[in-house]
Amino acid sequence: MPSLAPCAVNRIATDAFPASQRLDQWEAYNASFLVGLRCSSFSDEGLKARQSNMAVGQLALADIDGNAHVIERTPQLVRQHPKESVFVSLVLSSGAFFYQEHSCLHLVPGDLVIYDTRHAYLFGFTHQMHQFLVDTPADWFYRDCSRAQLPGPIRIAGEAGSGRVLNHAFKNLVGDAMARPEGVDQDRMQFEACDLLRAMMAGEAAGSSALRASHLLAARAHIDEHLHRHSMDAHEVATAAGVSLRHLNRLLQAEGRSVTQLILERRLERAAMELRQAALNRYSIAEIAYRCGFASQAHFARTFRSQHGMTPTQMREQPGRHRASI
């Protein structure tokens, strides 16, 4: 059962300020809610931009639109405003360019760029722009989403291949959360964002196709829908994804897992999500294990500790657990 909790949304619109103050206000707001940066606009009317920001567990979401402008995170700003994050930016409108680490990327609507905020960068938009941005903690990203440090900015092209499928799923995930902040399942949002980013990074390394991405998304959707069923197995998941088990295992090799391992990981992640919900205290740990598809409590306890580095009881007793109603 999902845990729904209202998420606070912070907003700024530069129209509320005189043209001469807009850049200063925009930079101050971003330093507080996103990242320290310097902004330039060459429009006669100055910067006309809006931004909405929302925290979802460890992640921070931003919905940004405005006229043509350029932002810089200079080496000096990196030192003055340190930020241990990896940003994921989906360009929804406007051509754009992104420079970091001797790489200059040209972006079109539908493209996504992943970059580390610990390194200076330049991000420019040539026309009226709109983007979704997800701020992920660097330790979270490098632990759960990527096996290696980013060598520089990563562009996930949205016009074809797996990028078209994954970027569209990312757009829907962030857009739905920003549109309905009063009912966001924060643990679920983080789980799905991590899953998409992991698939993007694996696909980038493997030269993934749209068909591969579609099969993997279908497999994950089937697993999530049927986690409570102890009888679900790898053959069933492959059939739901429209491929043979051998082929689905081959598709997952880029992520370093098999279908059976994927099922187990998602059962363990769902169990962790439920254990972190204070509203689910009425369920014993054995009942949560059963709800997540584990027929053996001993097997659940052993694999849970291996995956999360703590016992189910220790996770349930952690401070700061969500107390939202379900």
pLDDT in tens, the chain (326 residues): 444 456 789 999 999 999 999 999 999 999 999 999 999 998 888 999 999 999 998 899 999 999 999 999 999 999 999 999 999 999 999 999 999 988 999 999 999 999 999 999 999 999 999 999 999 999 999 988 887 889 899 999 888 777 888 899 999 999 999 998 888 888 788 888 988 898 888 766 545 566 777 788 888 888 988 998 999 999 999 998 888 999 999 888 877 889 999 999 999 988 988 888 777 888 999 999 999 999 999 999 999 999 989 999 999 987 655 443 32
Instruction: Give 57-105 pLDDT, tens digit per residue.
Output: 889 999 999 999 999 999 999 999 999 999 999 999 999 999 998 899 9
Residue owning tokens 């952690």: 318
All structural domains of the chain with their residue ranges: 8-190, 209-326
β pairing state of 85-93 and 59-66: unpaired
Rounded to whole angstroms, how far apart are CA atoms 264 and 183?
28
Residue owning tokens 């497999």: 219
**Maximum alpha-carbon separation in the chain:** 68
**Residues 203, 162 contacting (CB under 8 angstroms):** yes
Please tell me the CATH superfamily of domain 8-190, with its number: Jelly Rolls (2.60.120.10)
Rounded to whole angstroms, how far apart are CA atoms 261 and 249?
10
Token output for 285: 């740990």
**Residues 249, 294 contacting (CB under 8 angstroms):** no
Which architecture does CATH list for 209-326? Orthogonal Bundle (1.10)
Please state the pTM of the whole predicted model: 0.76
